[in-house]
Amino acid sequence: MPELPEVETVARGLDRHMTGRRILRVEKNRPDLRTMMPADLVARLEGRRVEAVRRRAKYILVDLDDGAVVLAHLGMSGRITIAPPGQAPNRPDPHDHVVLHLDDGTVLRFNDARRFGRIDLARRDTLDAHPLLAGIGPEPLGPDFDGPRLAAALAGRRSPIKAALLDQRVVAGIGNIYACEALHLARLSPQRLAMTVTGARADRLAAAIRDVLQRAIAAGGSSIRDYVQTSGELGYFQHDWTVYGREGEPCRRCGDAVAVRRLVQSGRSTFYCARCQR
């Protein structure tokens, strides 16, 4: 599933092409994805001008000029691609479930082969109370995210720190890949109890989370299965992973020939270096 860097990359690509443009026509090719899409989606979008495209956690938010907000989630296999004016493919893809035509000829396609994505509508003035966003934790790239705030969110949690980082109520947008990478950078074992990550440990982890996410965004995210940028290009951060997916390979910090190990936590694979993560 795309995580924060991939969603941020897509949101930035959409913002460049959509902001200031008017949605002339909407093709809604099926009524549902993971859940039912709004029945009036076409009527609510056609004729509206896009004011901004941004991200909250793993959701793409499209602000419209009437105060409505489109919430889009890519799910497991979703992708949103952009065809500049005159470059739209002649043959539609059967998994293009929603297609937007902008007033400059740009065409945007929400493609989702497995249909685990979501598209919903909300009001900007009540967005934080929307069921999909209510209770989500702080943005790790925001100005108010730091060690003390992370430690406060982890206080009293007896789950492993890796599992806690995947809880969107603790911090927004982090998934399996970037939790593994951030814990390695912070030299913290994924099995450490979350409640013990305080003080200097929490400072190191908050800084590591920010660093890993920023570098991943700069690389266009990580492409391992279905994810592509809005241009159709792959992300490149998978080439810089230090532990994720590298079981049995040398740790890129300590050089142990068999340092990178894999264990299963809450049904998810965790990759870590047993030598340098404590």
Closest to 5 in 3D by CA, of 272, 212, 249, 234: 212
Closest CA to 81 of 205, 227, 198: 227
And the tokens for 217?
Answer: 């965004």
Contact by Cβ (8 Å): 80, 97: no
> Catalytic residue at 58?
yes
- Radius of gyration over every alpha carbon of the chain, rounded to an integer in angstroms: 20
Cα-to-chain-centroid distance, residue 84: 24
Which one of 149, 253, 268, 275 is the catalytic residue?
A: 268
Give the DSSP per-residue string, 192-254: SBGGG--HHHHHHHHHHHHHHHHHHHHTT---SSS---TTSPPP-GGGG-SSTT-TTSPPTTT
Which residue of the set 56, 58, 201, 246 is catalytic?
Answer: 58
Q: What are the respective helix, strand and coil percentages of the chain, to the nearest 5? A: 25, 25, 50
Q: Active-site residue among 3, 6, 8, 181?
A: 3
Active site (annotated) includes residue 233: no
The verdict on whether 85 is a catalytic residue reads: no
Please give the Cα distance from 143 to 34 (Å, whole number). Answer: 33
Alpha helices (runs of H) in the chain, residue ranges in sequence order: 4-18, 41-45, 147-154, 161-165, 176-185, 199-218
Tokens of 53: 């495209």
268 among known catalytic residues: yes
Q: Which residues are catalytic?
A: 2-3, 58, 268
